Structure 1
C-alpha cells in the first residue's frame, strides 16, 4: 500500500495540510453497525495530542475489540489491544465487510507488513511505497516503526 502525505499527522506550513475524517459520520456508522450486530460501543476516543487516530472500544460478537480510524485518511483497522506504543491488530471478517463500503479497512497482512528503513539517508529513509513529507520522515527516523500499522496508527508526539 502507498502511504499518503500526512497519514502520520505530521506536516509543516510548507506542506499541504492533510484532509480530515468526518468524526460525526464515523461515530454514527460505528454506533449503527455495532448495535445492528447486537453489540455495544463502550468508549469513543478522539485523537489526542500524541495520537493520530480515533479509537472506538466495543463489545460485539461476544468479543471485546477496538475499531481504529486514522484521523486524516479513511484507513481503518481492528485491534484486540491498544496500549501506548503497542497495538495488536486483528482481522474481524464480518465487520470488515460491513465497514468496507465506508472506509479502507486494512487487514493484518497489510498492517503487520515490515517498514523498510534505510537509516542515514534523509531523502529515501522509507523504502515502502510512499508520498510522506519531510516532517513525517523525520518522525519515522526518530521512532523507527517496525510495521506499516505503526505509521498509520501512531503515538508520536
Structure 2
C-alpha cells in the first residue's frame, strides 16, 4: 500500500476543512439512515486527533466513523473512551457500501489498516512526516493514518 503525502496529518493543512467536515457529516447522516442507524455524536479533528469522528448507533451496537482530516479516507472503529488512544478497527460492510454510494470517500478495510508499516510504501511522504514516524513509531498503516500525535 502506497501512502500519499499528508498521510500522517503533518506538514499540510486540511483543504477546505469546514466544507469537508460538513460534507462528511452529511454523508454519515445519509449512510446511517440507509443502514438503520442514527448519528449520536460528532468530534471534529484538531491538533489531536488528526481525524473527524462520527458515532452511529444501531440496535445492539455502535460504530465510530473516522474521516482523515487531510485525505478522503474513512475507517470504522468500536467507540472508545475519550482518553483512550488505542483504536479497534472493524469492518462494517453495509455502512461501507452506503458511504461508497453517497461519496467519493475511500473506506479502508481492517486488513489494510492492520498492514504492518514496514510493508507500506512511504516514499511519497514528506520529510516532516518521516520525522514524525521516527518519533511516534506507529506499527501499522492504521496507527499512522488515524493518530493522536501532537
Shared fold by TM > 0.5? yes
Moved over 6 A (4+): none
Give 1:80 deviation, angstroms.
Answer: 1.0
Report 1:1-157 matches (<5 A).
Answer: 1-11=1-11, 17=13, 19=15, 22-60=20-58, 62-82=60-80, 84-101=84-101, 102=103, 103-116=105-118, 128-130=120-122, 131-157=124-150
TM-align CA RMSD: 1.8
**Does the residue aligned with 2:36 lie in a helix, a strand or coil?**
coil
TM-score computed with the length of structure 2 as normaliser: 0.87
Which ranges of structure 1 fall in alignment gaps of 5 or more residues?
A: 117-126
Higher relative contact order (CA 8 A, sep 6+): 2
TM-score computed with the length of structure 1 as normaliser: 0.83
In the aligned structure 1, how far is the partner of 2:115 from the partner of 2:5? Answer: 19
- Structure showing greater radius of gyration is 1
Which ranges of structure 2 fall in alignment gaps of 5 or more residues?
A: none
Q: Is the 8 A contact 2:68 2:74 kept in 1?
A: yes
Give 1:35 deviation, angstroms.
Answer: 2.3
Higher percent of residues as helix: 2
In the aligned structure 2, how far is the partner of 1:38 from the partner of 1:18? Answer: 31
Residue matched to 1:123: none
